[in-house]
A and B are shown apart, each in its own frame.
Chain A
């Protein structure tokens, strides 16, 4: 049990971390309601009486609508597809790594790690040239493939760790009970791995959703440009006005799906589903 003093201390730490993490978001939220003339006022909140939803109108129904909504569509589509492919591939790969003993197992893991620490910026230029040559430039697929290189390694590592926790006896029991290898995997292991798969999927989705470098370099039109890249193309009403308000509004809107995802899958993310499978 925690003493009252320890509880207070923890509460203090929690509040500090929350403020640290959420203050920028709050600042962006406040900015998104500011009128263009108010942006440089130096106050945190919009000056009284000038709070406006004009920025949201601009990006959702106004001038910037074409730029923003198509980008939102691209982002959602590309991120979802990349996440799905990454999770399916990573599940199979991680299962093999956790369960089977095959030559090159270490190689797969270290390669995955090496790929993930490889700086993105250094392969953008060759990819740009390659994609233009083979016609993948400015297409969904042209972004999905590099996103896989970002999401697969981390998915494989998290899922492999997760699969290792699932007792092997469950699968063997299923096989003795009359299951084929595939049935044992599907009926005994997949249901238990679900929380791990969800967690991995969310992490992978974040990575794809937040990418900027590939997004801005490998696209040129609304055909495939994702939101983070599109934000850079916002313009103010005149060349003397900064598009800060519109960018803030767009940033808030693209944050919403992430928050929703986490809230939605909160229950699935909690681990501990395996308790009761085996002793202890």
Chain B
């Protein structure tokens, strides 16, 4: 258990290219932090700097207030789960999990090692596989062995480097919730690198969005989604991603390729001095105008558009509208797409419609847009002009409170079940023991 402080961390490679550029993050004790960004944004490098596999060019890394820049990985007492598992193929599952304990010579007797390994294996449901070699295990089992190796030690923090990216979709979802529950139960500080935003949104207490080695925003998933600081964060978070429409502002009216949209006065005021803005609209802000309830109608603005096609998904459907931006705007949209790992952003608006909507491609239809929620971005700097910092901070505070509320019962329930049945249920019994050790240490 430890807090980790990243203080203006910089990583420069031989050619002077900064892979990580001046990143400062305070990670509280027990917090689950996600590092997310497109490939090449420096998220893995940052993680490897924390664990000690990459040198730190500049800045300070503190674990529990102690500067550890020059400490070897083994002296930092952190546990790491690698993307490709990195199991020792010549050792059995049991020995793989026991490996860190055996390295700490003299600290554990053979009996203790056996006890700790059995407990960890029980937590991860690996008890039946302890005598097998990694080569004979499935992907999910290998992943669990890798986690077993991490939880068997009294590590100060867990570091995950895209641990689920090699698993198939179904297993990924399952392992995701297992990791989440395990982290809550053990209450151990965790840093998790991923490029998958579902993982980022579901696992993280706070999510740090990185782009080209620079920290864009760190906040609770909800704040990132509702109050992004800039175009990049807004476009990166959310799937399907936010639509960006070039527009000119005249009073309270936005002139866009889709038509004129009237927006609330206080939003218009914030962008009043800009000639051209980018309007950020999430797909779910749209709705089939005929299905919008009466009392909501006046919160938004209605326009007519022709959808190219629709995709029905059961609970909702996606509609696609093409538009034709001005050439200089097209360039801006393309560079934005490149930042986000896509080749070219098609000048297309994705709208989410109610599953019952009868709007189909090819016909002109009335679409309603909730203008209260849209954001206006500066077309040059990408800055979010309409961000409400106070509302955002409030969302992150709430997330923190929710988490504290979640952890307490999880650990209490764990403790109770452990004392209650004396460990006859191997799963919870083992988990308790591991969790107990962590809270003690």
Asked if A and B bind, the verdict is yes
- Interface of A toward B, CB cutoff 8 Å: 167, 169-170, 172-180, 183, 187-188, 191-192, 273-280
**Residues of chain A within 8 A of B408, CB atoms compared:** none
A-B contact sample (17 more), CB < 8 A, given A173-B82, A277-B88, A277-B134: A169-B84, A169-B86, A172-B82, A172-B86, A173-B80, A175-B74, A176-B51, A176-B79, A177-B149, A177-B153, A178-B100, A178-B103, A191-B90, A273-B90, A276-B87, A278-B84, A278-B87
Interface centre among B52, B53, B73, B83 (most CB of A within 10 A): B73
> A274–B89 Cα gap in the complex (Å)?
6
Beta-carbon nearest neighbor of A180 in chain B: B74
> A177–B100 Cα gap in the complex (Å)?
5
Known A-B contacts A178-B74, A178-B104, A179-B74; A279 and B84 likewise in contact (beta carbons under 8 Å): yes
24 contacts between A and B (CB under 8 A): A172-B53, A172-B73, A173-B80, A175-B52, A175-B73, A176-B73, A177-B79, A177-B103, A178-B100, A178-B104, A188-B88, A191-B88, A191-B90, A192-B89, A274-B89, A275-B89, A275-B135, A276-B89, A276-B136, A276-B137, A277-B85, A278-B87, A279-B142, A280-B84
**Residues of chain A within 8 A of B325, CB atoms compared:** none
Residues 63 to 94 of chain B near chain A (Cβ within 8 Å): 72-74, 78-80, 82-90
CB contact between A183 and one of B85, B103, B133, B137 (< 8 Å): that residue: B103
**Residues of chain B within 8 A of A276, CB atoms compared:** 87, 89, 133-137, 142
B181 within 8 A of A: no
Beta-carbon nearest neighbor of B136 in chain A: A276
- Interface of B toward A, CB cutoff 8 Å: 51-53, 72-74, 78-80, 82-90, 99-100, 103-104, 133-137, 139, 142, 149, 153, 166
**Residues of chain A within 8 A of B149, CB atoms compared:** 173, 177
**Residues of chain A within 8 A of B51, CB atoms compared:** 176
By the criterion CB–CB under 8 Å, are A167 and B86 in contact?
Answer: yes
> A91–B78 Cα gap in the complex (Å)?
30
Beta-carbon nearest neighbor of B75 in chain A: A178
> A177–B87 Cα gap in the complex (Å)?
12
By the criterion CB–CB under 8 Å, are B74 and A277 in contact?
Answer: no
**Residues of chain A within 8 A of B90, CB atoms compared:** 191-192, 273
Min CB–CB distance B321 → chain A (angstroms): 41
Min CB–CB distance B266 → chain A (angstroms): 51
CB contact between B85 and one of A188, A274, A278 (< 8 Å): that residue: A278
Beta-carbon nearest neighbor of A175 in chain B: B73
**Residues of chain B within 8 A of A275, CB atoms compared:** 89, 135
CB contact between A279 and one of B52, B73, B85, B136 (< 8 Å): that residue: B85
By the criterion CB–CB under 8 Å, are A174 and B99 in contact?
Answer: yes
Min CB–CB distance A91 → chain B (angstroms): 17
> A57–B79 Cα gap in the complex (Å)?
67
> A188–B102 Cα gap in the complex (Å)?
13
> A276–B142 Cα gap in the complex (Å)?
8
**Residues of chain B within 8 A of A172, CB atoms compared:** 53, 73, 82, 86
> A177–B78 Cα gap in the complex (Å)?
8
By the criterion CB–CB under 8 Å, are A177 and B99 in contact?
Answer: yes
Min CB–CB distance A183 → chain B (angstroms): 7
Known A-B contacts A172-B53, A173-B80, A279-B139; A179 and B89 likewise in contact (beta carbons under 8 Å): no
> A173–B55 Cα gap in the complex (Å)?
16
Min CB–CB distance B102 → chain A (angstroms): 9
Interface centre among A172, A173, A273, A280 (most CB of B within 10 A): A173
Min CB–CB distance B149 → chain A (angstroms): 7
**Residues of chain A within 8 A of B72, CB atoms compared:** 175, 180
**Residues of chain A within 8 A of B78, CB atoms compared:** 176
**Residues of chain B within 8 A of A173, CB atoms compared:** 80, 82, 86, 149
> A262–B90 Cα gap in the complex (Å)?
23
> A164–B312 Cα gap in the complex (Å)?
49
By the criterion CB–CB under 8 Å, are A279 and B166 in contact?
Answer: yes
Min CB–CB distance A136 → chain B (angstroms): 41
> A67–B92 Cα gap in the complex (Å)?
52
Interface centre among A179, A180, A183 (most CB of B within 10 A): A179
CB contact between A176 and one of B53, B87, B88, B166 (< 8 Å): that residue: B53
Beta-carbon nearest neighbor of A168 in chain B: B86
Min CB–CB distance B133 → chain A (angstroms): 6
Min CB–CB distance A267 → chain B (angstroms): 14
Beta-carbon nearest neighbor of A276 in chain B: B135
Min CB–CB distance A249 → chain B (angstroms): 43
**Residues of chain A within 8 A of B99, CB atoms compared:** 174, 177, 187
> A172–B139 Cα gap in the complex (Å)?
20
Min CB–CB distance B295 → chain A (angstroms): 53
Min CB–CB distance A103 → chain B (angstroms): 12
> A223–B354 Cα gap in the complex (Å)?
95
Min CB–CB distance B339 → chain A (angstroms): 29
Q: Which 6 A/B pairs are nearest by Cβ-Cβ distance?
A: A276-B135, A278-B84, A169-B86, A173-B86, A276-B134, A177-B100
Beta-carbon nearest neighbor of A166 in chain B: B89
Min CB–CB distance A165 → chain B (angstroms): 12
Beta-carbon nearest neighbor of A173 in chain B: B86
**Residues of chain B within 8 A of A273, CB atoms compared:** 89-90
> A191–B96 Cα gap in the complex (Å)?
14
By the criterion CB–CB under 8 Å, are B86 and A170 in contact?
Answer: yes
**Residues of chain A within 8 A of B83, CB atoms compared:** 279
Beta-carbon nearest neighbor of B79 in chain A: A176
Min CB–CB distance A255 → chain B (angstroms): 33
Min CB–CB distance A278 → chain B (angstroms): 4
Known A-B contacts A175-B53, A176-B74; A170 and B88 likewise in contact (beta carbons under 8 Å): yes
> A173–B142 Cα gap in the complex (Å)?
14
By the criterion CB–CB under 8 Å, are A277 and B87 in contact?
Answer: yes
> A278–B165 Cα gap in the complex (Å)?
13
> A170–B83 Cα gap in the complex (Å)?
11
**Residues of chain B within 8 A of A178, CB atoms compared:** 74, 100, 103-104, 153
**Residues of chain A within 8 A of B100, CB atoms compared:** 177-178
> A169–B87 Cα gap in the complex (Å)?
9
**Residues of chain B within 8 A of A170, CB atoms compared:** 86, 88
**Residues of chain B within 8 A of A183, CB atoms compared:** 103
**Residues of chain B within 8 A of A179, CB atoms compared:** 74, 103
By the criterion CB–CB under 8 Å, are A277 and B86 in contact?
Answer: yes
By the criterion CB–CB under 8 Å, are A176 and B84 in contact?
Answer: no
Beta-carbon nearest neighbor of B48 in chain A: A172
> A245–B87 Cα gap in the complex (Å)?
56
Interface centre among B84, B136, B137, B149 (most CB of A within 10 A): B84
Min CB–CB distance B272 → chain A (angstroms): 53
> A173–B83 Cα gap in the complex (Å)?
11
By the criterion CB–CB under 8 Å, are B86 and A278 in contact?
Answer: yes
